[in-house]
Amino acid sequence: MRLLSCSSAVLLALSALVAGCGGGNAGTSLPSNQLSASTMMVNGAGPGAMPSCPAPANPLQSVNAVQGAGKLSPLAGQQVSVRGVVTGDFQAASQLNGFFIQQPVPDQDGKTSEGIFVYAPASATPVKAGQYVQVSGTVEEFKSGSTDPERATQISQLSRVDLCGSGPVIKARKLALPVASLDELEALEGMLVEVTAPLTVTDTYTLGRYGELRLSANGRLYQQNNHPVLTDRAAIADLNARSQILLDDGAAISNPTPIPYLSASDNSGTRRVGDTVTNVRGVLTWGFDAWRIEPTQAPTFTPANPRTAAPAAVGGSLRAGSLNVLNYFTTLNQRGANSSAELKRQRDKLVSTIVALDADVLGLMEIENTATVSLADLVAAVNAKTGASTYALVNSGTPGTDAIKVAMIYKPARVSLIGQPQVPADPDFGVDGGLRPPVAQRFAAIDNNGSFWFVVNHLKSKGSCPSSASSVDRDDGQGCWNVSRVRQASALNKWVGQLVANSGEADVLMVGDFNAYLHEDPIKTIEAAGFEDLLKRLPASDRYTYVFNGESGALDHGLASSKLSAQVTGVTVWHINADEPIALDYNTEFKTDDRYAVTPYRSSDHDPVLVGLNLTADAAIIEPVLSATLPTVGQAGIATTVNDINAVLSKGATSGTLSINHGDGSATQVLALNATTASFTYASAGTFALRLQLDDSNGKRVAIDGQVVVSAALAPSTGSDVFFSEYVEGSGNNKAIELFNPTAAAVDLTLYRIKLFSNGAGSASQTLPLTGSLAAGATLVVHHGAFANPAAIAGTKIASSSIANFNGDDALTLEKNGSVIDAIGQVGFDPGSEWVAGTASTLNRTLRRKSGITGGSIPPNAPAFWDIALEWDAFASDTFDGLGRR
Segment 713-747, tens digit of pLDDT: 755 444 589 999 999 998 888 999 999 988 888 99
pLDDT at residue 516, as a whole number: 98
Average predicted confidence (pLDDT) for the chain: 89
**Residue 860 in 3-state DSSP?**
coil
Determine the Cα–Cα distance for residues 528 and 559; give it in Å rounded to an integer.
12
C-alpha span between 549 and 830 (Å, rounded) = 36
Task: Judge whether residue 44 has pLDDT over 60.
Answer: no
Residue 607 has pLDDT above 50, yes or no: yes
Model pLDDT, residue 99? 98
Q: Tell me the average pLDDT across 300-319.
A: 98
Residue of 116, 152, 112 lying closest to 133 (CA atoms): 116
Q: Which pLDDT band, with edges at 50, 70 and 90, does 30 fall under?
A: very low
Please, which pLDDT band fits residue 231 given cuts at 50, 70 and 90?
confident
Cβ 696 vs Cβ 655: under 8 Å: yes
Question: Worst-scoring range by mean pLDDT, 364-373, 591-600, 635-644, 685-694?
Answer: 635-644
pLDDT tens digits along 312-338: 999 999 999 999 999 999 999 899 999
- DSSP character at residue 717: B
Section 608-623 average pLDDT: 93
Query: Band of the pLDDT at 11, cuts 50, 70, 90?
Result: very low
**What is the average pLDDT across 691-714?**
87
Confidence band, pLDDT 50/70/90 cuts, at residue 29: very low
**Lowest pLDDT segment from 6-10, 520-524, 605-609, 848-852:** 6-10
- The C-alpha atoms of residue 541 and residue 520 are separated, in whole angstroms, by 17
Averaged pLDDT for residues 37-64: 69
pLDDT at 28 over 50: no
Query: Taking residues 409-417, what's their average pLDDT?
Result: 98
Confidence (pLDDT) at 426: 92
Q: How far apart are CA 291 and CA 563, in angstroms?
A: 50
- In this structure, the number of other CB atoms found within 10 A of the CB of residue 6 comes to 13
Q: Can you give the residue ranges of every domain in the chain?
A: 9-170, 175-302, 319-613, 625-711, 723-875
Q: Same CATH fold, 723-875 and 625-711?
A: yes
Q: Quick one: 479 exposed, middle or buried, by C-beta within 10 A (0-12, 13-18, 19+)?
A: buried
The mean per-residue pLDDT over the stretch 460-469 comes to: 80
Q: pLDDT digits over 575-594, tens only?
A: 999 999 999 999 999 999 99
Residue 485 CA to residue 656 CA, distance in Å, equals: 43
Cα–Cα distance between 245 and 237 in angstroms, integer? 15
Superfamily (CATH) of domain 319-613? Endonuclease/exonuclease/phosphatase (3.60.10.10)
Alpha carbons within 13 angstroms on the beta-carbon side of residue 421 total: 23
Going by pLDDT thresholds of 50, 70 and 90, the confidence category of residue 632 is confident
Alpha-carbon separation of residue 182 from 227, 242, 550, 780, 796 (angstroms): 22, 6, 17, 72, 74
Distance, CA of 376 to CA of 328 (rounded, Å): 11
Average pLDDT over residues 807-813: 92
For residues 260-282, give the mean pLDDT: 98
What pLDDT, in 10s, does the model give residues 65-87? 999 988 899 999 999 999 999 99
Query: What is residue 469's predicted lDDT score, i.e. its pLDDT?
Result: 60
Q: Is the pLDDT of residue 10 over 70?
A: no
205-214, 451-460, 757-766: least confident range: 757-766
Question: What percent of the chain is modeled with pLDDT above 70?
Answer: 93
- Residue 49's pLDDT band (cuts 50, 70, 90): low
How much of the chain exceeds pLDDT 90, in percent? 69
Q: What is the pLDDT of residue 70?
A: 87
Which pLDDT value is given to residue 468?
A: 65
Fold of the domain spanning 625-711? Immunoglobulin-like (2.60.40)
pLDDT at 33 exceeding the cut of 50: no
Using CA atoms, how far apart are residues 345 and 80, in angstroms rounded to an integer? 55
Domain 175-302 has CATH 2.40.128: no
**Residues with Cβ within 8 Å of residue 100, at least 6 apart in sequence:** 86, 87, 88, 90, 115, 116, 117, 118, 190, 192, 283, 285, 294
Distance in angstroms (rounded) separating the CA atoms of residues 2 and 468: 56
Query: What number does CATH give the domain 723-875?
Result: 2.60.40
Which of 138-147, 283-292, 683-692 shows the lowest per-residue confidence on average (mean pLDDT)? 138-147
The amino acid at residue 167 is G
Q: Give domain 9-170's CATH number out of 2.60.120.10, 2.40.30.20, 2.40.50.140, 3.90.25.10.
A: 2.40.50.140
Question: Mean pLDDT over residues 557-573, rounded?
Answer: 99
Half-sphere exposure of 239 (CA within 13 A, CB side): 16
Q: Give how far Cα 268 sits from Cα of 140, 599, 600, 616, 732, Å.
A: 43, 9, 12, 43, 30
Backbone phi, psi, residue 759, to 5°: 55, 40
Residue 12 has pLDDT above 70, yes or no: no
Say if residues 784 and 807 touch (Cβ distance below 8 Å). Answer: no
192 vs 508: CA distance, rounded Å = 58
For residue 470, name the pLDDT band (cuts at 50, 70, 90): low
Can you tell me the mean pLDDT for 287-292?
Answer: 93
Predicted confidence band of residue 46 (pLDDT cuts 50, 70, 90): very low
Bridge partners of 60? 81
Residue 21 has pLDDT above 70, yes or no: no
- The kind and range of the H/E element at 446 are none
The pLDDT, as a whole number, for residue 781 is 92
Q: pLDDT by residue (tens digit) across 104-143?
A: 998 888 889 999 999 999 777 899 999 999 999 999 999 8
